Structure 1
Amino acid sequence: MQLGSSQPRSSSSSSANQMRREMTMQCWTRTTSSSRWDPLMRMSSRSAAQWIAQKKDQSRASSSRPCLTATARAAPRGRTTRMMLVATWGSAAMMSLAAAAWAAQKGRGMKTTRTKMMRVACRMTLTSSWRLRSTTSCWRRPGSSRWLTLLLRRAPWPPTSEVVGVLEDFTNRRAANRSRSEYIDQFKSDLGVYYGYNGYMLDQLTVLFPPGEVLELCEACETPRPITLRVNSLKARRRELAAALIARGVNLDPIGPWSKVGLVVYDSKVPIGATPEYMAGHYMLQGASSFMPVMALAPQSGETVVDVAAAPGGKTSYIAALMKNSGTIFANELNPARLKSISANLSRLGVTNTVLCNYDGRQLPSVVGRNSVDRVLLDAPCSGTGVVSKDPSVKTSKNAADIWRCAHLQKQLLLAAIDMVNANSGSGGYIVYSTCSMLVEENENVINYVLRKRHVKVVPSGLEFGRAGLQRFREFRFHPSLQHARRFYPHAHNLDGFFVCKLKKMSNATSAPGGSAAAAAAAASKKQQQAQQQHAHERGMDGSDSEDESSSSSGRSASRSWSSAAQAAARVRRTRQRVMRASRMMTLAAAVVMERMSQSLMLIQTTMMHQQKW
């Protein structure tokens, strides 16, 4: 499948499930002795599978331990297959012993604990077999892939197609005594155990996608994305570079019709990052999803462009190639240690129109100047929920506090990026915001915030594919123009999870679009109220009802303003008191520590003096 092409989602079918049920059989095992494994090594694979199947009649007492589902008739032959069966059998036995120890220690039911742990062992073994299928000769024979596919589909882990099928057609397929929330909880629990996601991530994914798509996404994130490279048009052409790499033993293809400079690498006999062409700067190893922000920015020759977060230099060099080394590019990076990689890559690729700088992105308007550049690219720091295949720690390390902290920083960076752009630029005035996150809090919610704070609008990005941005999510309601934003997913486009949105600055004013009108309306109402009070005072309406009403309303407003001011002053006073108390405690603690250190030093000196005397 070409990168970026939409991948249709397979629908669960009752007829397919029935056929798989008829073609498969459950094998039940009961053993704790290694001597029971030896017969498997002395027989063929098909005989081994049949031998395991015969254990079903011998293990009725422990029928709660399903460990393997196999199609014995289609089992491929070979020693490797027998090793896989032995590994599964051994995992079941060892997990049985571990379950017994765990149940004895925790005081839990042996039956439930043993079943859960053996299912995990079974699934791990089968998944390892599936991932080895391309490097093992026995899996290349006819029928072997179908056999192992049936193993994986009928294994009790991860969530079976029955659960997904019930959730997708809940009205017709649900059990009478189970609610949808129970199915959802079971679905999330199974996903969390097998794929290792925490509760927060599963809540986000199950709300963002339907159940079947969540399962496809989790499975797609378990495998890395294809290796892609971008041809440096400043030094080479794609056709010539592809011919040179193919001659060196690299198997590659064009990345797709949407890119003229991308190549996808399937396999290589040489290190793809150490070829003479790479050293000469003819190409850059770069993820396909990182092409999108630069393509949406579409910089023109002679413009002034700012890359707010430039490391390691892939997007910056792509911008320079599109500008043909003309104009000026400000490549900013907050981390000084990463400036070396940017400088090395730009030098290798032959980029000569770039100025490196090391500032906080929120300070760039005061450094570069407000309303002074034509275009800005902000690939904002984010939670990285779209690149789980590169960083699996994202599954468990992210929570709501981390996401909102990232969103707050992204809002500040985007406001600073907008302030740098000149709305009156003849060819520019554009800002591209992108993240490698799939969460709405870091994407549509950030864009919706800046639409209220600055005179900008969302415009079409020019990208040929990708899903449209969301206009509503949970309690959020976003501007309709966010449909021009683009979302990319691993399971749908074979790319890292990515979000791209292009903004056009309409005015250089820094206030919100309705800010000046609201201020004018407030000033007019204030003047009208003052005029009414002065008119009432001139007429001398001291005992009239109107004066009483106006005085009472003014008194109420004054009391409200006074109470709010008093509350604010009280909050400030309490904050100061806390700060002073904390500073006093820190001073006291420091004094105690210094006193203890001085006592220790005196004791050490005294001891040394006594030792010298003796």
Structure 2
Amino acid sequence: MKENYSLVSLAVVVVRLMRIEMGGAFSDVLNGDGEDRLDKEMEYVKRTLGFSIPSLRPENLKLVTEEVAGIVRWKKYLDYVISNVYDKDQNEFERMEPILKQVLRLGSYELLKLEVPAYAVVNEAVKLANAASRAGAGKLANALLRAVASHKEKNTLPVPEVIGNLRSQARALGTIHSHPVWMVRRWTDRYGTEDTLKLMEWNNTRPFYALRANNATGTSRDDLIEQLKKLEVSYVKSPLLEDFVRVTSGLQEVLRSGLIQQGRCTVQDESGGLVVELLDPQPGDLVIDCCAAPGGKSLYIASRLKGKGKVIAVDINKARLQLLKDSAKKAGVSEQVSVYNVDARDMIRGKTGLADRVLLDAPCSGLGVLSKRADLRWRRTLESFEELTKLQDELLDGACKMVRPGGVLVYSTCSIEPDENIDRITSFLARNQNFILEPLEREVPREMVSREGCFYSLPYTHGIDGAFAAKLRHKA
């Protein structure tokens, strides 16, 4: 088979989609294009499809990453279109072999969302289907994708009608905007249809990323901006935090530049930076960061200690803690950060009441970061909330024992769901009479303070990841 960059790039897209759907991999761009990962993918392409090239060009890797994220976001809608143009039973698509299904999603995405010319899409999809799947797969891919292209050209693409009862409407909106029905119903009940549509549109938009200039290595925001200019990366200064820059395009160039590896900056959403602002670590403090890995908040906290004080980073995942340890060294704060491989729920078995400040950035549904982690919308279920909220309560009960009298406990999530946010705080305060909720004043922008006095960011309203944080003080 003729070797060419375009076809092999698409083959890598298919391999990554397979890994996400069947192997539990993530679609987040920040999981990177490391050499080990790419080598394995290229070997799989060679073994399965029978062609390879020595490496992919940087611009091809960028397109692969963006295309994978887009297909994962739009999976439900793409499946609906493909199923409805299929002459056979609509369930036939669901029963297809996984690799052919991914090829069809890839082709449909390029036709419907990227507007790639039909002849190019069909030609390459047929080659991939013939190489990767059963006899006749190429013929099927040709017929289906030509049908999709024809419907698009004639403006006759199948669209579910938003009519009937609320359940039927949620099902239709979930298909059109590619979200699970239970999420649509949940958000519609809380925000109304108009704002739910805004939220889904945000989740389906290509995200921007923020960088934090690392003062601990002597890098100011102005220094970082000069480096971004040299890399020809588009940016704007964060309107929320003085050390942060929003990268509007070109994150892959930053990742390849060595700036992060050199410890000069780190990728961190402003919502996470605002959580650290709320914690307000001071030089000389002893800070415990529960569930710390991979360590973005730990490193920011450490940088604010100005060489005085300590961050104890606790996490149950040993491998991710090692990444945190390595990152602390690159960031110039290794003297301030100690890592411990322990479950935060078990910390109460040791000494208690030691820390000036404790941060519990709890495991959660992640429904505030669906623009960056599109795969989460397909992994989460309504039933998973019961398990998550139980864990969050247990972690809160463990973390609070580490706070000295007069000290601060900050509970945060990257969720927009009350079950994981204010409901957990209300439940915690009912169980722990020696803590009070400290209303926020100038720690975060006024428009991000909830009626209960907590930090709450909503993506389509505030323009950053969805997040929540509550500041709790131990009564002296």
Q: Could you list the runs of 5+ residues in structure 1 that have no partner in the other structure? A: 1-90, 106-120, 131-150, 164-177, 470-481, 508-614
Give 1:282 deviation, angstroms: 1.4
Indicate the SS of the match to 1:378. Answer: strand
**What is the rounded CA distance, in whole Å, between the counterparts of 1:342 and 1:220 in structure 2?**
30
The answer to whether the 8 Å contact 1:279/1:348 transfers is: yes
* Structure 2 partner of 1:362: 345
The one-letter amino acid paired with 2:275 is P
Question: What are the within-5 Å matches in structure 2 for residues 55-74 of structure 1?
Answer: none
* Structure 2 partner of 1:288: 270
| 2:418 paired with 1:440 | yes
**What is the rounded CA distance, in whole Å, between the counterparts of 1:407 and 1:205 in structure 2?**
18
| 2:230 paired with 1:247 | yes
| 2:439 paired with 1:460 | yes
Indicate the SS of the match to 2:281. Answer: coil
Match of 1:340 among 318, 322, 347: 322
Indicate the SS of the match to 2:89. Answer: helix
| 2:220 paired with 1:237 | yes
The answer to whether the 8 Å contact 2:234/2:249 transfers is: yes
- The one-character-per-residue Cα deviations of 1:570-602 (angstroms, maximum 9, x if unpaired) are xxxxxxxxxxxxxxxxxxxxxxxxxxxxxxxxx
Match of 1:208 among 190, 205, 219: 190
The one-letter amino acid paired with 1:404 is E
Give 1:129 deviation, angstroms: 3.4
**What is the rounded CA distance, in whole Å, between the counterparts of 1:396 and 1:208 in structure 2?**
21
Q: Could you list the runs of 5+ residues in structure 2 that have no partner in the other structure? A: 1-77, 93-106, 117-151
Q: CA 1:270 to 1:372, structure 2 compared with 1: closer, same or farther past 3 Å?
A: closer
Q: CA 1:361 to 1:101, structure 2 compared with 1: closer, same or farther past 3 Å?
A: same
Indicate the SS of the match to 1:374. Answer: strand
The answer to whether the 8 Å contact 1:387/1:497 transfers is: yes
User: What's the RMSD between the two structures over aligned residues?
Assistant: 3.3
- The one-character-per-residue Cα deviations of 1:11-31 (angstroms, maximum 9, x if unpaired) are xxxxxxxxxxxxxxxxxxxxx
Indicate the SS of the match to 1:451. Answer: helix
The answer to whether the 8 Å contact 1:255/1:263 transfers is: yes
- The one-character-per-residue Cα deviations of 1:73-103 (angstroms, maximum 9, x if unpaired) are xxxxxxxxxxxxxxxxxx9xx9799454328
| 2:476 paired with 1:497 | no
Give 1:466 deviation, angstroms: 4.5
Indicate the SS of the match to 1:418. Answer: helix
Give 1:354 deviation, angstroms: 1.2
| 2:332 paired with 1:323 | no
Give 1:399 deviation, angstroms: 2.6
The one-letter amino acid paired with 2:438 is V
The one-letter amino acid paired with 2:418 is V
The answer to whether the 8 Å contact 2:235/2:246 transfers is: yes
**What is the rounded CA distance, in whole Å, between the counterparts of 1:225 and 1:97 in structure 2?**
30
**What is the rounded CA distance, in whole Å, between the counterparts of 1:253 and 1:122 in structure 2?**
34
Q: CA 1:322 to 1:155, structure 2 compared with 1: closer, same or farther past 3 Å?
A: farther
- The one-character-per-residue Cα deviations of 1:497-517 (angstroms, maximum 9, x if unpaired) are 21111111115xxxxxxxxxx
| 2:453 paired with 1:484 | yes
Give 1:442 deviation, angstroms: 0.8
**What is the rounded CA distance, in whole Å, between the counterparts of 2:177 and 2:428 in structure 1?**
36
**What is the rounded CA distance, in whole Å, between the counterparts of 1:95 and 1:390 in structure 2?**
25
Q: Which deviates the most, 446-455 or 458-467?
A: 458-467
The answer to whether the 8 Å contact 2:368/2:466 transfers is: yes
The answer to whether the 8 Å contact 2:83/2:90 transfers is: no
The answer to whether the 8 Å contact 1:312/1:342 transfers is: yes
Give 1:468 deviation, angstroms: 4.0
**What is the rounded CA distance, in whole Å, between the counterparts of 2:395 and 2:286 in structure 1?**
19
Identical-residue share of aligned pairs (%): 27
The one-letter amino acid paired with 2:308 is S
**What is the rounded CA distance, in whole Å, between the counterparts of 2:283 and 2:317 in structure 1?**
29
The answer to whether the 8 Å contact 1:225/1:495 transfers is: no
* Structure 2 partner of 1:266: 248
**What is the rounded CA distance, in whole Å, between the counterparts of 1:228 and 1:248 in structure 2?**
16
The one-letter amino acid paired with 1:370 is T
Q: CA 1:302 to 1:124, structure 2 compared with 1: closer, same or farther past 3 Å?
A: same
Q: CA 1:124 to 1:190, structure 2 compared with 1: closer, same or farther past 3 Å?
A: farther
Indicate the SS of the match to 1:422. Answer: strand
The answer to whether the 8 Å contact 1:201/1:398 transfers is: no
* Structure 2 partner of 1:68: none
**What is the rounded CA distance, in whole Å, between the counterparts of 1:492 and 1:406 in structure 2?**
26
The one-letter amino acid paired with 2:417 is L
Match of 1:278 among 260, 285, 293: 260
The one-letter amino acid paired with 1:302 is G
Q: CA 1:155 to 1:348, structure 2 compared with 1: closer, same or farther past 3 Å?
A: farther
| 2:83 paired with 1:102 | no
Q: CA 1:103 to 1:498, structure 2 compared with 1: closer, same or farther past 3 Å?
A: closer
* Structure 2 partner of 1:73: none
Give 1:490 deviation, angstroms: 2.1
| 2:286 paired with 1:304 | yes
* Structure 2 partner of 1:407: 389
Indicate the SS of the match to 1:271. Answer: helix
Q: CA 1:329 to 1:157, structure 2 compared with 1: closer, same or farther past 3 Å?
A: farther
Give 1:362 deviation, angstroms: 0.7
**What is the rounded CA distance, in whole Å, between the counterparts of 2:85 and 2:266 in structure 1?**
49
The answer to whether the 8 Å contact 2:291/2:361 transfers is: yes
**What is the rounded CA distance, in whole Å, between the counterparts of 1:390 and 1:397 in structure 2?**
14
Give 1:125 deviation, angstroms: 4.8
**What is the rounded CA distance, in whole Å, between the counterparts of 1:467 and 1:334 in structure 2?**
31
The one-letter amino acid paired with 2:392 is Q
Match of 2:115 among 129, 153, 158: 129
Give 1:157 deviation, angstroms: 7.4
The one-letter amino acid paired with 1:184 is L
Match of 1:192 among 174, 185, 191: 174
The answer to whether the 8 Å contact 1:273/1:285 transfers is: no
The answer to whether the 8 Å contact 1:252/1:265 transfers is: yes
Question: What are the within-5 Å matches in structure 2 for residues 45-60 of structure 1?
Answer: none
The answer to whether the 8 Å contact 1:311/1:339 transfers is: yes
The answer to whether the 8 Å contact 2:84/2:158 transfers is: no
* Structure 2 partner of 1:46: none
Indicate the SS of the match to 2:323. Answer: helix
The one-letter amino acid paired with 1:393 is D
- The one-character-per-residue Cα deviations of 1:23-70 (angstroms, maximum 9, x if unpaired) are xxxxxxxxxxxxxxxxxxxxxxxxxxxxxxxxxxxxxxxxxxxxxxxx
The one-letter amino acid paired with 2:360 is L
Q: CA 1:350 to 1:222, structure 2 compared with 1: closer, same or farther past 3 Å?
A: same
Give 1:346 deviation, angstroms: 0.3
The answer to whether the 8 Å contact 2:360/2:412 transfers is: yes
The answer to whether the 8 Å contact 2:84/2:90 transfers is: no
